[in-house]
């Protein structure tokens, strides 16, 4: 079996969780696991990765100080041609998604993105991913190729304790020329709003099911009755109904309140990632198959516009009592 390359993802001095998750998952697939680390003075990450990999290929160059998929593509393509791995794993992240499809086209590799489970059939990965916002699992057979690239959803594998001491091999940067057509400029932090929902004890999360911004008072009243803050799914923020500092999920905030009451939220992975650590999760949604019920502790399958006003009454009664 050919080697498995795992691309180590890091940003602004931090190795991202998906890196160790993928290394731990790759170790169970059989074959030699090679961590590929592109960065500038990130020896600490090389040491860390070595605890999970049979080998670390480490390219230390200022070109990789900040992520740029154009530069990454050139470097990875050269390393892959030289070392000939059979499988490359990278995170299905803002980095991986910006890189993997172009790399696959360039190298004639077969690619499946956003993989949520995989096993090996001989030398070939057999991936599963989701469709329709997590409402179905889809099982794929990759087209035969010399190289298979998979982008792995965060938390697909569990990062385990270090158990290896892979050799760290420093290699010269295979990219010898500047990449003029795409240049990194800067990172910009998200705006800070009035309420920091990461500090809230009780959150009422509102999703697409609210339908129109004029319906927002329905959930605002509930939040007020409960003494909770309002959080939102991406759809509600995109529509401009609530400010972006209320957004929960991968591209928003990660919250861990005592209670997360999800109203009209279907529970796509992107949202759930940001709130699954809540102590108690309650979901109100009219779709019985909504993925949110798979992670909620309690659920009401009904029209939110009928249930929420009643809930406001009941909460007020209990509070008054």
Partner 1 sequence: MNMVVCVKRVPDTADSEVHIDASGKDIDKSRLSFGINECDNYAVEEAIQIKERLEGTVTVISLGNKESDEVIRMALAKGGDEAIRLEDDAFAGGDALAIAKALAAAIKGLEYDVVFTGALTDDDGFAAVPVALAELLGVPHATYVKKVEILEPGKKAKVGRELEGGLMEFLEIDMPCVLGIQTGINEPRYASFKGIKQAAKKEIALKSAADLGLEASDLGEAGSWAVLDSFTPPVVGEMAEILEGEPEETAAKLAAILKEKGLV
Of residues 124 through 153, those in contact with partner 1 by CB under 8 A are 127, 129-143
Q: Which stretch binds partner 1 (CB under 8 A): 29-37, 52-60, 79-87, 253-261?
A: 253-261
Closest distance to partner 1 from the beta carbon of 43 (Å): 24
Structure token digits, residue 186: 């800067």
Closest distance of CB 172 from partner 1, Å: 25
Measured from the CB atom, the residue of 53 and 235 that comes closer to partner 1 is 235
Residues with Cβ within 8 Å of 65's Cβ and at least 6 positions away in sequence, in order, are 39, 40
Taking the least distance from each CB to partner 1, the nearer of 163 and 192 is 192
- Stretches 30-38, 55-63, 68-76, 157-165: which one binds partner 1 (CB under 8 A)? 68-76
Interacting residues with partner 1 between 105 and 124 (CB under 8 A): 105-106, 109-114
Task: Give the β-pairing of 10-11 and 259-263.
Answer: unpaired
Number of residues that bind partner 1 (CB under 8 A): 101
Q: Decide whether 42 or 99 has the Cβ nearer to partner 1.
A: 99
Residue position matching structure tokens 């991986």: 96
- Burial label, 66 (beta-carbon count in 10 A; 0-12, 13-18, 19+): middle
- On whether the CB atoms of residues 270 and 234 are closer than 8 A, the answer is yes
Residue with tokens 């949202």: 271
Q: Which is nearer to partner 1, 160 or 287 (CB)?
A: 287
Q: Does 62 bind partner 1 (CB under 8 A)?
A: no
CB of 145 to partner 1, least distance (A): 8
Q: Biggest alpha carbon distance in the chain?
A: 73
Separation between Cα atoms, residue 9 and residue 22, nearest integer Å: 10
250 touches partner 1 by CB under 8 A: yes
158 near partner 1, rule: CB under 8 A: no
Q: 25 in helix, strand or coil?
A: helix
**10 is a site residue for partner 1 (CB under 8 A):** no
Q: Could you say which residues in the range 173-212 bind partner 1, by CB under 8 A? A: 180-190, 202, 208-209
Contact 210, 231 (CB under 8 A): no
- Binding residue for partner 1, selected from 25, 39, 85, 252, defined by CB under 8 A: 252
* Burial of residue 206 (number of CB atoms within 10 Å: 0-12, 13-18, 19+): buried
Tokens 């892959």 appear where?
80
Spatial distance between the Cα atoms of 88 and 104, rounded to a whole number of angstroms? 10
CB of 163: closest distance to partner 1 in angstroms? Answer: 27
For 190, the token pair is: 């998200």
Q: Is 11 in the site for partner 1 (CB under 8 A)?
A: yes
Interface residue with partner 1 among 231, 242, 275, 283 (CB under 8 A) is 283
Distance CA 156, CA 142 (A): 19
Interface residue with partner 1, options 94, 155, 168, 218 (CB under 8 A): 94
């Amino acid at each position: 079996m050919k080697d498995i390359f795992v691309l180590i993802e890091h940003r602004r001095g931090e190795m991202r969780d998906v890196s160790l998750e993928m290394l731990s998952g790759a170790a169970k697939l059989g074959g030699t696991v090679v961590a590929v680390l592109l960065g500038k003075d990130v020896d600490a990450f090389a040491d860390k990765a070595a605890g999970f990999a049979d080998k670390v290929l480490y390219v230390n160059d200022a070109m990789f100080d900040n992520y740029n998929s154009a530069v990454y593509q050139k470097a990875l393509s050269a390393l892959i041609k030289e070392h000939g791995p059979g499988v490359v794993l990278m995170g299905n992240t803002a980095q991986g998604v910006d890189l993997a499809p172009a790399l696959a086209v360039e190298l004639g590799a077969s690619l499946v993105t956003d993989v949520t489970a995989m096993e090996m059939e001989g030398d070939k990965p057999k991936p599963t991913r989701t469709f329709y916002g997590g409402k179905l699992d889809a099982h794929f057979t990759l087209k035969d190729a010399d190289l298979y690239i998979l982008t792995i959803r965060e938390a697909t594998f569990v990062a385990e304790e270090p158990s290896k001491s892979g050799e760290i091999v420093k290699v010269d940067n295979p990219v010898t020329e500047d990449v003029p057509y795409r240049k990194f400029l800067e990172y910009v932090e998200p705006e800070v709003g009035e309420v920091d929902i990461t500090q809230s004890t009780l959150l009422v999360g509102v999703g697409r099911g609210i339908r129109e911004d004029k319906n927002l008072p329905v959930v605002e009243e509930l939040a007020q009755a409960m003494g909770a803050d309002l959080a939102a799914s991406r759809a509600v923020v995109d529509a401009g109904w609530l400010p972006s500092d209320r957004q929960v999920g991968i591209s928003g905030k990660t919250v861990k309140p005592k209670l997360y009451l999800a109203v009209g939220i279907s529970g796509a992975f992107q949202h759930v990632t940001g709130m699954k650590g809540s102590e108690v999760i309650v979901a109100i949604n009219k779709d019985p198959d909504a993925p949110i019920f798979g992670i909620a502790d309690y659920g009401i399958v009904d029209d939110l516009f009928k249930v929420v006003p009643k809930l406001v009454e009941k909460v007020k009664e209990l509070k008054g009592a």
